[in-house]
Amino acid sequence: MSEVRVRFAPSPTGYLHIGGLRTALYDYLFAKNKGGKYILRIEDTDRSRYVDDAIENLIESLEWAGVKHDEGVFIEDGKIVQKGEYGPYIQSERLHIYKEYVDKLIENGHAYYCFCDKERLEKIREEQKEKGLMLGYDGHCRDISIEDARKRIENGEEYVIRLKFPENRDIVFKDIIRGTISINTKDIDDQVLLKSDGFPTYHLAVIVDDYLMKITHVIRGEEWLPSAPKHAYLYEVFGWEAPEFVHLPTVLNKEKKKLSKRHGDVSVEDFKEKGYLPEALVNYLALVGWSPESNKEFFSMEELIEEFSLERVSKTGGVFDKDKLDWVNEHYLREADIDLVTKIAIPHLIKAGYITEDDIENKYDWVKTLVSVVKERLSYISEIPEKVKYIFNNEIIPEDEETLELLKGEGVPTLLEAFKEELTEIDEVDLEFSQGIMKKIQKKTGIKGKNLFMPVRVALTGQQHGPDIDKIILVLGKQNILKRISYIESNY
């Protein structure tokens, strides 16, 4: 069997959609599982939808997610470069190739010049709608001879080139997920292959590129399923062996509708900016539409590669549940290196005004401890300003009535007085102090267990539950703790 070669071929029309990342991920996992190659090609022939910097953003999002291609379009030193023996990998640089192949179709009678203008096409579309007929081109220009067509072109008439389907013939092809599919040509119209601006449509370019780049498996979203018979027929008339088709189920929201910007975050950039870890997003996304043989929830990329198979991809849409993603991300955050989480958290803390650039340089260990105080309670890292808010407010407001009662306990004044006395003995709180202070207060007051820890925690945070008390004491520091004790003494 020839080497497996797959491609992810996005259009540079903006951000990388979560559904696009999943397609790229399945391409990557399949190729790596089979010891093959994964290629990134850019399909930019629809110039009306082209967005500046979209190629760079696409590549950066894929790199961030760890879905790394072997061949195609890369960014090096801030520039777009192409690597591999089947380039160019940007379609707008391949126009001469498409022209050569569309001319072959014309010569062989499998395509024709069409001179119908926009007005005529709109008119027949309206008539078809009124009569309840299938919408599509009516074949008006099918029988114009090549000679007549070329004369009209010489006279300056605008034209497109269309594929000429045989009449009333079943086109049969196989899909790895959906099995054998058969469609009759009476339900397909003559597809435009080359537009009036000289650019190919997706249907021509994708076939020529996949053939010339030796693609063995076409893995793409199910929105391309209605186009697959056109592609299967194009392979046939070119005399080429078609690749294996794989049409992935759509990524849906909780309401079982297509995931779209109207319903919140849908781009990889959105999730990156919110502080989701790439490993978590990839782990979760792999399971939206694919079920592994094992019942595991958490997979490294290597484990995904080992287990992945197209046969276990579902026929029905996979639901992207943000709550489930949050749960997966929480797991990865708990396991994550504190320096990594701190690095991602810093911009969010600066933006919220809780730390400055100077703090990162001069008090990095303190910033790291601040992050570690709430790390276990984050679903994603951009939540951190909200979670550390109480660290920066010395006015303690108990979270509920039960918590307030803890501050009014008879032993509380004794505890706070003992805490103050210990603080007067030091210049600043350090690790040794924060880890030993509760034992000293216990020894001094004779109060222990819940009666010791709960009132102190509430006096420092206004909350009954939370991070380890020694971390809170270390982050707050001497002056803030004294201010909090003073506030409690004055108000409760």
Tell whether 296 is in a known binding site.
Answer: no
Element (H, E) at 478: helix 469-491
Going by the DSSP 8-state scheme, the letter that residue 136 receives in this structure is S
d(CA 464, CA 398): 9
Going by the DSSP 8-state scheme, the letter that residue 243 receives in this structure is P
How far is CA 332 from its chain centroid?
17
d(CA 352, CA 46): 41
Element (H, E) at 477: helix 469-491
Give the count of alpha carbons within 13 A of 358, CB side only. 1
> Given phi > 0 = left and psi -120 to 50 = alpha, else beta, which region is 379?
alpha
Total residue count of the chain as it appears in this document: 492
CB 232 within 8 A of CB 173: yes
Tell whether 114 is in a known binding site.
Answer: yes
Whether the bond into 249 is cis, omega within 30 of 0: no
The answer to whether residue 261 is catalytic is yes
Q: Which two tokens stand for residue 183?
A: 């469609």
Name the pairing type of β-strands 170-175 and 111-114: unpaired
Q: Which two tokens stand for residue 36?
A: 């093959």
In the block, which residue shows the tokens 């099918």?
A: 142
Tell whether 143 is in a known binding site.
Answer: yes
Kindly name the residue from 83, 254, 261, 408 that is annotated as catalytic.
261
Tell whether 141 is in a known binding site.
Answer: yes
d(CA 491, CA 383): 30
Q: Which residues lie below 8 Å from residue 123, measured CB to CB, with a gap of 6+?
A: none
Q: Which two tokens stand for residue 88?
A: 């160019």
> Annotated catalytic sites, by residue?
261
Which residues sit in the known binding site for Zn(2+)?
Answer: 114, 116, 141, 143
Binding annotation for ATP: 261
Annotated binding-site residues read 114, 116, 141, 143, 261
